[in-house]
Amino acid sequence: MCWKDCWTFKLEKAEGKETGMNYYILTLFPDMVLQGLNTSIIGRAMEKGILSIEAVNIRDYSRDKHKHVDDAPYGGGAGMVMQPGPVCDSYEDLCHRLGKRPRVLYMTPQGKVFNQTIAEELAKEKDLVFLCGHYEGIDERALELIVTDYLSIGDYVLTGGELPAMVMIDCISRLVPGVLNNDVSAEIESFHDNLLEYPQYTRPEVYEGKKVPEVLLSGHHKNIEIWRRQQSIRRTLERRPDLLKEASLSPGEEAYLKELTKE
Ligand code: ADE
């Protein structure tokens, strides 16, 4: 059995159970996304049946005898444009199989920039479709017909939507209940409360002459909590001061921040 068969098996297994989230990726490069997501925490969540991922090859929906899916742009210009037929047909066939019409997220640098808040909102869905374009993009009519959300991963241009889809799937999945072992860890880290995460330390106690901060060895939980909040505030001020505008700080923490800005 090759990894593709395993995948089908996992998907079927997941369909039998109540999964937390089902992802469908419409792409010309199904191997790229499946292999990229089949490891570590996401791979394990799929084995447990919490997540399912299906890659739909848009090329399978070409009606051309050479399986073409792209053509030159009307009006001239460089590159090729993905034709609307195979894109829309791949989605319509999926909807027919599912008996519903899930949200379609189109990966594009022209979209809204993806962030933790968007991830939290998307994690509430049961099914998500990621549409990945290549070449010079997808015929506008297909986008008008099926896309519900235009999303980017940042202000730079990639060769296709597969990596952005993988980034978003990774981020959304860790918010799906049961994917992370530790329920609290999804909440406490960077961007919770709009503050960056505090620094972490593990054994050894001294490394290259650098000691772990004393408070973390004290066993005094309240002091550790205060120290960590202060470190988060300090770090956010140093590295991402733009986030502080939206952070919710206690009066004591506001005073601490004021002191820091004076330094
Ligand atoms: N496709 C190409 N570049 C992209 C980006 N930055 N974000 C999302 N999709 C893209």
Please check the confidence at residue 59 and state whether its pLDDT lies above 60. yes
List, for residues 91-144, the tens digit of each pLDDT value: 999 999 999 999 999 999 999 999 999 999 999 999 999 999 998 899 999 999
Pocket test for ligand 1, best of 107, 130, 143 (most atoms within 8 A of CB): 107
The Cα–Cα gap between 205 and 212 comes to 6
Ligand 1 nearest atom to the CA of residue 151, by list position = 8
**Burial of 174 (C-beta count, 10 Å sphere; 0-12/13-18/19+):** middle
pTM of the entire predicted model: 0.90
H/E stretch holding 151 reads strand 149-152
Ligand 1 nearest atom to the CA of residue 133, by list position = 1
Average pLDDT over residues 202-214: 98
- State percent of the chain over pLDDT 90: 86
C-beta of 155 in contact with ligand 1 (< 6 A): no
CA-nearest residue, atom 7 of ligand 1: 152
Ligand 1 center–CA 184 separation, angstroms: 31
Task: Provide φ and ψ at 184, rounded to 5°.
Answer: -80, -25
Question: 167: alpha, beta or left, given left = phi > 0 and alpha = psi -120 to 50?
Answer: alpha
Please check the confidence at residue 85 and state whether its pLDDT lies above 60. yes
Please check the confidence at residue 8 and state whether its pLDDT lies above 50. no
Ligand 1 center–CA 134 separation, angstroms: 10
Given pLDDT bands bounded at 50, 70 and 90, which one contains residue 3? very low
